Structure 1
């Protein structure tokens, strides 16, 4: 039976493997994982304050500003006035940002499916159940 240390190491190795695959999937768009997480997060709402984006991404507001600056420079997000507070701005996906977000999400889903297809469906379901239980605990 594996020890807790063994299980922890397996989880870390699995995460590293998926992260490496994720970086390779992102190459055609020349985006970092941080930028994609920001695109996905900002795209869930019709505008999100920088502070809210930083909070959801669990990063410092300064880091969120840098990520948004990079995405805005590529035309993937825009800063727009907050209609509820004229002192604040919202980060919103542009049409190009929405297109890229959707393409990246589809590519990531296809890669995850390919990576996990080595496991039978029942093992994938059990792994998902165990990981959710672990994360919820």
Structure 2
């Protein structure tokens, strides 16, 4: 097997694992019956990491989506009482997005669902294997932290020694 064949196999394994992770997380979210889509979940996690409420354009840039996509997500979350639009105190024409108490509660539930999904996914691994996997994934994520021509990627997964990042 050539290096190129081996890399292709690894890429396919990573894609299959990603799809499995998404399926399992979705199942764990559905069990909690939060009525939040995976995209809305990502927006809530991202929103939680701002010191002050961000603008929708800030969220769009951070999530690497078009602003219209953020508007749609915010509309749904606002209708569900998870976020609210607030005027910027320095410029009343600017609207910022902040979490509500219901949004913070949903975020705690989302984190619990992600943890239980992670436990299911990682169950076959020993603690040593989990540590090795974490180190390898950190290497891959850090290597992709700045993509050529792209913005810096602040979205990092939750680590045992720090807060969850979107």
The interval holding the TM-score normalised by the smaller chain is over 0.9
Match of 2:19 among 13, 16, 24: 16
CA distance in 2, matches of 1:79, 1:128: 37
1:92-128: CA deviation from partner (whole Å, max 9, x where unpaired): 0110011011111112112202220210111111111
TM-score (norm 1): 0.94
Cα RMSD after superposing both structures: 1.3
Number of equivalences = 137
User: Would you say 1:37 and 2:54 are equivalent positions?
Assistant: no
In 2, Cα distance between the equivalents of 1:88 and 1:30?
29
2:111 aligns to what?
105
Q: Secondary structure at the match of 1:47?
A: coil
Stretches of structure 2 that go unaligned for 5 or more consecutive residues are 144-166
Give ranges in structure 1 of 5+ residues lacking alignment: none
**Structure that is richer in strand per residue:** 1
> C-alpha offsets along residues 15-60 of structure 1, whole Å, 9 cap, x if unaligned?
0000001111221112111000001111222311100111111110
1:69 is matched with 75
Q: TM-score, normalised by structure 2?
A: 0.79
Structure 1 stretches of 4+ with a deviation exceeding 6 A read none
